[in-house]
Structure 1
């Protein structure tokens, strides 16, 4: 498992026009809905392979953070978050 700063994770896996807010991601991390942890004052998302590309069109994408993100994005799109 590797850690990716939450801000870097947002920039890497979301287009600017569809990117959730940093506070939304911190809330999901704090509530355990997105795998990660706070170290010092920074939030990190747990990823299995920091170099893995996230492709929302491929269900075989296998990463705990990716799987959680897909579910959270669906909630976010439907106003449940």
Structure 2
């Protein structure tokens, strides 16, 4: 199940500091359909698909 991630979180997770596109570029990608996402209120979000290993790590971290 995909989860929503803010554009800033997405940029921090997916790009190095020297390769980051602008937030406006990510909004353009969402609007063109190149990146799955949506606008909620005035904030844009990217849909990120969690892998099975992500779910396992999250369960372990919650149990600690």
**Higher strand proportion:** 2
Aligned to 1:20: 21
Residues of 1 paired with 2:9 and 2:3: CA distance?
Answer: 13
**Higher helix proportion:** 2
Q: List runs of 5+ in structure 2 lacking aligned partners.
A: 55-64
Aligned to 1:29: 30
- Which structure ranks higher in relative contact order (CA pairs < 8 Å, sequence separation ≥ 6)? 2
Residues of 2 paired with 1:5 and 1:46: CA distance?
Answer: 9
TM-score by length of 1: 0.58
Q: What is the aligned-residue RMSD (CA, Å)? A: 1.8
Q: List runs of 5+ in structure 1 lacking aligned partners.
A: 53-81
Residues of 1 paired with 2:40 and 2:14: CA distance?
Answer: 21
Number of paired residues? 52
Larger radius of gyration: 2
